[in-house]
Amino acid sequence: MDIRIKPVQIVKRGKNYQLYYYAPDGRRRRLSVGSDSQLAHRLSIKFTDWLIESKDPERELERAHQKEQARQVSLVDFFPEFMERHGMNQSIKMQARYHDMLKNIRRCPELADVHLGRISKKLVLDYMHARMKYDGVMAATVNREAAFLRGMLSRSVEWDILPFNPLQGLKLLKEDGKRRVNVSPKQAAALLDALPHPLDDIAEFAIYTGFRKENILGLKIGQIRFHDLKETGVVTLLIKGGREEIFPLGAKAVEVLKRVIGERQTGYVFLNLDTGTRYYSINRTYSRAVDKLGLRVGNTRLRFHDLRHVFATWLHQAGVSLDVLRPLLGHTDRDTTDRYAYLDRVSVGGVLDVMPRIRNKKSPDENPVRAESQELLTQTDTNRGLTTGQLCQRNA
């Protein structure tokens, strides 16, 4: 079938030019395009192309205008739309992670305030190296932030804001496969002494259980069941992947819980004394204590998540096999903890008794580890690493 498209006519009315054309629905349309004759001729060609494709020129012109405006949007400006259309479909934890990563990125105005279309691989790589140099973070941390940026720009392409993703094909940095955490009971005792109450109880419970921080801070009394005949128990946790699993509690972890819970029957286990409810972040206070003691893992400070490594390391050094550790850590992927055979985690809970005691609050003088920790508590780390207010400016 021979389909003929009527040509777009250019008519000058006074100082302005107007385009006359027939829309795909057959209606005759008129559009004023200003006083620039060259612009009028370029638009007439573009209108003809759109009409050949059965597209409405006015609608396409509006879309092109919106895209041009969107290309002037910065990363910070785009973030609310990203959260509304994508972030709200993620978990609360992931949403918080998005906000934390943006907070770090905003410290580099050259990246945070640049228009989306002008973000380049070199700019992101410069940011990543600056973060590692001045903040002392690991490659894994900056890789997550780079992946976050790449994901935001991918969404901008899906939503017709950018024509392509400028970070597509960005190569992430090589990561160290294993974080080597070597903390002695003496150092652990010093850390607990340096932490204010009740953060010391939180850290002690983390070492005795290997639980993740959010599982501990969000732990409720109703999730715990103490055994009648032994000073042990079990707890139900929601772990990665959204699975609900039962984990054993050793005698030392139960001792901490009973001391913290007291006579309470409901509510969160670890209460913020200022708010009367759970903690949502303990990073700042924890980091101050770690920096005061100079506790380091490689070129970074000892993170709260590293206490999970302490749990696994102490048990392994006491002779507990990796096959037994896997269910206690809640791992299912063989690549996470090498290759493991399945064992029921509750049935292996007895090995938790080999954990060394860090301190004894009932009689501190009888605990040599706690006494020795006072000497370590007075030491300071003179090489704590740098943090910056403006990462990219410091790196310039």
**pLDDT per residue of the chain (396 residues) written in tens, 0 to 9:** 344 677 888 888 888 898 888 888 888 888 888 888 888 888 888 888 888 888 888 888 877 766 666 557 889 999 999 999 998 888 787 899 999 999 999 999 999 898 888 899 999 999 999 999 988 888 889 999 999 999 999 998 888 788 788 898 898 888 766 678 889 999 999 999 999 999 999 999 999 999 999 999 999 999 999 998 888 899 988 776 567 889 999 999 999 999 999 999 999 999 999 999 999 889 999 999 999 999 998 878 999 999 998 998 898 888 888 878 888 887 765 445 442 223 445 555 666 777 888 886 554 444 444 444 455 444 444 333 434 445 665 555
The answer to whether 163 and 157 have CB atoms below 8 angstroms apart is yes
Q: Which residue from 249, 240, 244 is spatially nearest to 333, judged by alpha carbons?
A: 240
In DSSP terms, which residues pair with 243 in a beta bridge? 239
CB 166 within 8 A of CB 119: yes
Structure tokens at 304: 């709260």
Q: Please give the pLDDT value at position 127.
A: 94
As a whole number of Å, the CA-based R_g of the chain is 30
Please report the pLDDT score of residue 369 as a whole number.
43
The reported pLDDT for the residue numbered 295 is 94
- Cα angle value 229/233/237 (rounded, 5°): 160
pLDDT score at 345 = 52
Tell me what pLDDT residue 142 has: 93
Residue 337: predicted pLDDT: 47
pLDDT value of residue 115: 87
pLDDT at 66: 61
pLDDT of residue 363: 45
One-character DSSP codes across 132-160: IIII---HHHHHHHHHHHHHHHHHHHHTT
Q: Outline where DSSP puts E strands in 131-232.
A: 224-226
Give the integer Cα–Cα distance in Å for 117 and 248.
52
Contacts of the segment 142-146: beta carbons below 8 A, 24+ positions apart: 142/173, 143/172, 143/173, 143/175, 144/101, 145/101, 145/104, 145/105, 146/170, 146/172
- Is the pTM higher than 0.75? no
